[in-house]
Amino acid sequence: MGDSSADWAGISWTFLAEVRRRSPLVQCITNFVSMDLMANTLLAAGASPAMLHSLQELPDFTPNADALCVNVGTLTADWLPAMKLAAELAVRSGRPWVLDPVAAGASGFRLNACRALVGLKPTVIRGNGSEIIALANASVGSTKGVDSSHDSKDAVEAAKSLAQASEAIVAVSGAVDIITDGKRVVGASNGVPMMQNITATGCSVTALISAFVAVDPSRAFEATASALSIFGIAGEIGMEMAKGPASLRMHLIDSLYGLDQAAVLSFVKISSI
């Protein structure tokens, strides 16, 4: 169970304020679809994104990044060695790293790659319901490509068992975002359904989790729940001005950039499950 007495609103604001104050450097090895929105999400939150994935420069660069985000969205065999080396370098340097197992159940190749990455000790794994179920059960199928065919609440047990097996914090996004360390489970219910109609919102919230974990790796559970809630709040405020997915994309980024303490303290919706 989660800690029902936690001051989640205060915790979430502290993480956002720390990201703005320290501007952590977040290395992203990500898919071609998400690079732009992910970098702009990190900048709007006050972090410093770098989309570097060349195997040759990882030994110089990765140990100096404050966090690493690895996303397998447009995976091919030639990208995998860089993802693995970057994860190893992050762990060796005591830096947190976060895995987004996009479409983990879409093929055996992708599932095996994701399982190998899980073995390299990610600090956090964030996926949608179908991705977390596929990873936890090591099963191909029951997915709709990069989109989920499961409600996040269908994946609570899968998330707990994946967290226990991997020793990572596991987050399942959806109408209610589920966050677990294998024992505690909390739900973050911010956000609007139209966020699903913008490609790379999932990838971008995973990058935001990386920035939040960067400023306090010892509180990865709290950082993950806070990042999901804050991104959802930016979506809620953005939706008040949006006419559809394209303008929501713009207003979400503007709202994340402009979020103030009063809005965070009144909008955060995180509670025990």
Ligand X SMILES: Nc1ncnc2c1ncn2[C@@H]1O[C@H](COP(=O)(O)OP(=O)(O)O)[C@@H](O)[C@H]1O
Which residues contribute to the site for ligand TZP (CB under 6 A)?
31, 33-34, 73-74, 102, 146, 199-203
**Sequence letter at residue 223:** A
User: Closest approach of Cβ 76 to ligand X, in Å?
Assistant: 20
Residues contributing to the site for ligand X (CB under 6 A)? 128, 147-148, 173-175, 177, 191-193, 195-196, 201-202, 205, 228, 231-232
Closer to ligand X at the Cβ: 116 or 175? 175
Residues contributing to the site for Mg ion (CB under 5 A)? 102, 202
Alpha carbons 148 and 146: distance in angstroms, whole number: 7
Rounded (10°) CA dihedral 16, 22, 23, 28: -90
Helices (H), 138-219: 156-166, 201-215
Q: Is residue 271 classed as helix, strand or coil in its secondary structure?
A: strand
Partner in contact with 33, chosen from ligand X, ligand TZP, Mg ion, none, beta carbon below 5 to 8 Å by kind: ligand TZP
User: Closest approach of Cβ 249 to ligand TZP, in Å?
Assistant: 12
Q: Is residue 112 classed as helix, strand or coil in its secondary structure?
A: helix
Partner in contact with 232, chosen from Mg ion, ligand X, ligand TZP, none, beta carbon below 5 to 8 Å by kind: ligand X
Could you tell me which of 230, 225, 227, 216 has the C-alpha nearest to residue 264? 230
Partner in contact with 34, chosen from ligand X, ligand TZP, Mg ion, none, beta carbon below 5 to 8 Å by kind: ligand TZP
> Taking a C-beta distance cutoff of 8 angstroms, is the pair 264, 243 a contact?
no
Closer to ligand TZP at the Cβ: 14 or 210? 210
User: Closest approach of Cβ 42 to ligand TZP, in Å?
Assistant: 14
- What is the pairing mode between strands 97-100 and 48-50? unpaired
Closer to Mg ion at the Cβ: 49 or 127? 127
Alpha carbons 173 and 115: distance in angstroms, whole number: 19
